Structure 1
Amino acid sequence: MIWRDGVVRGVRASWDGVAELDVEVVGGPGDERAPLAAGATVRALAYVHLVGEPVVGDRVTLSAAALARGLGTGGYAMVVALPDRLPADPPPGPGHLVKARYTPLQTMVLGVDEQESEHHETLRDADDLGGMPVVVADLHSAVPAVVAGLRTVDPDLSVAYVMTDGGALPAWFSRSLAGLREAGWQAGSVTVGQAFGGDLEAVTLHTGLLAARLVLGADVAVVVQGPGNLGTGTRWGFSGTACGEAVNAAAVLRGAPVASLRVSGADPRERHLGVSHHSLTAYGRVALAPADVVVPRFDAGTELERSLPPGLGERVREQAAGLAAPSGIHRLVEVSTSGLAEALEGSPVRLSTMGRGLAQDPAAFLAAAVAGVHAGRLARG
């Protein structure tokens, strides 16, 4: 932990559950190197449901290790407390589910599946998704692209987002989630495991999926970790291995697992070019139940698709082939990208993955969108 004291000098932006601040560093126990030297102004995030609503002039206590290390998604100073103006205690109410457990910011929520919940009876013996398509993807940036693709099939299909805890724990961190909600592109969200802040809270991915189906009434669920993929450049040391476990959960609950491939035509790292090794490992080694692996068929119908690197489509098909018979257990489903460029360009939220937008890496978003198309077709029957 790297601690700093600061003073709020401005509110940059706000969205559901979050305030983004300009904070002047005024001191701390560490050295005075940039970017955390006294007098420096840093970007900071405050989760207002946890620490209260900051205003200009408030003194804040910051946790700043990620900022000091120059991390990407997590590269903010985080407001731990407004020490001079603590929020009032919440009113007494039900719920004894503790998330971010045994950390200084552990929070108590009402789990949709716990005994005090009005939905406990619905979920107590629930065991079947009734064939609901469950789209599984690695990166949080895939979520709006999956939903955009699904909406080209039927914009009236009800979509629930189920957020696992491999990345950010608070769902509030995601601007995409807030934007999709505002646009009416999702029926609701469920945060599972240690993640929290969704419309519903659940103990496990299994009860989260059941809640998406039976409580939110979703036609399709999209299961993806929160923002902030963790990777170490090793075969197994990445948070996306949870994609394989999500396939297993969907299958055991008699859903229809749909595996979205992590694809890139712009990533400079060989292990992520074409189909990422994250997808090949998670679906090829971790998933023990068969899924529909959706492979994009890039159609050169738009300028966006014509900008793809030569031979990318063939590379993706060759890499994905190992996930199906005779060496794999999955079914490959090829889906055309025709019409998806326009759908992606109409997204109500900014599309960005690993710092690259739609124009810089269209393959990433097209590959996610075709998974949404396939899930939409399954949901329509």
Structure 2
Amino acid sequence: MSQPERRAVPVLSVMDMVPVSAGRTRSDALNDMIALARAADAAGYERYWLAEHHGSTTYLSSATVVLMGQVLAATDRLGVASGGIMLPNHAPLVVAEQIGTLATLYPGRVDLGLGRAPGTDRLTAAALRRGASDPRHFAEEIVEILTYLGDAPAPGPRVTPGSLLLGASGTPDNDAAQGAEPGSPRVRAIPGEGTRPSVWVLGSSVNGARVAGQLGLPFAVASHFAPVQAEAAIATYRSVFEAQSENRPQTGPRVAAAVNVMVAPSDDEARLLFSTAMAAAARIVGNRPGPLDPPTADPQAWRTRAPGREAAVESAMSLSFVGTADDVAARLREQADRWDLDEILIVTYAHDPALRRRSYELLAQAWYA
């Protein structure tokens, strides 16, 4: 199967978990998100991805769809994506209704990224009434959402949980999905039906990659915290995608990857500011959550946040690009070529939100120069 010509330069997008900084309020953090989105819109970023986290004292992105609506309303041309909605936490119909409403209000600007991780701890996951998260069930529910958001057919099959079973081709193959009699009842996601937003599968391992490849959907790899598995996941995605290529009209695979970045006018300042990101990662790995720490000149200070887990922190943050704009842009291009990326999701933490925005702006200037 011939592949479409790739972009000479992959697009840049923002990946935001909406962190709150020590000494600032949660209201401040949400307003900082809006300010960053406006800066990204002006700087030329392609999309603004918003992740889903629950019960976190670091990240305020629990109500992902609400935040997406705020960013869409505050910007003019910027695409907005869920990065992602953790599907086992939500009924597929509700996801289709909410994303479909945004896609109706903002046609052409909404993407739906779906993941299957909990996005929280076990206790909070139980409070969310979390459903099954095995790859097969995840794929089944993605197909259900695609059905809801597709063009409204003549009255046909009623889609219910468990009715969509994937065959080897990654398409529904059972009677419930394929052929109920005309006029029979069916569930409709109004106003979502017919909006057909782009749907991405998010993953940090080969499991999510296989689902994306089987369904012929774009794949976004969470390499900002699971870089060791990223290359294998991308290779698996492309392999499975190509194996299914004869069964779908899709033109070719699309891959996005998230990376950690800090850009500043000098290398020394960039390294100083990046100490906040290292401390944030150490807090998560060390199970010591909290707001973003101020930067520190001690390059080893983050180790106190994850005693005994230092190697895990270093592994999680190994795909990080820190320095001046031209240097970071050059190294990002090398990474994009290595993985044949279509989109790079930039994850940047800074205690000072103004310096966070500056980092994104400086990188965009160098990237699109």
| TM-score above 0.5 | no
Higher relative contact order (CA 8 A, sep 6+): 2
Give me the TM-score of the superposition, normalised by structure 2: 0.30
Give me the TM-score of the superposition, normalised by structure 1: 0.29
Q: Which has the higher helix share?
A: 2
Q: Which has the higher strand share?
A: 1
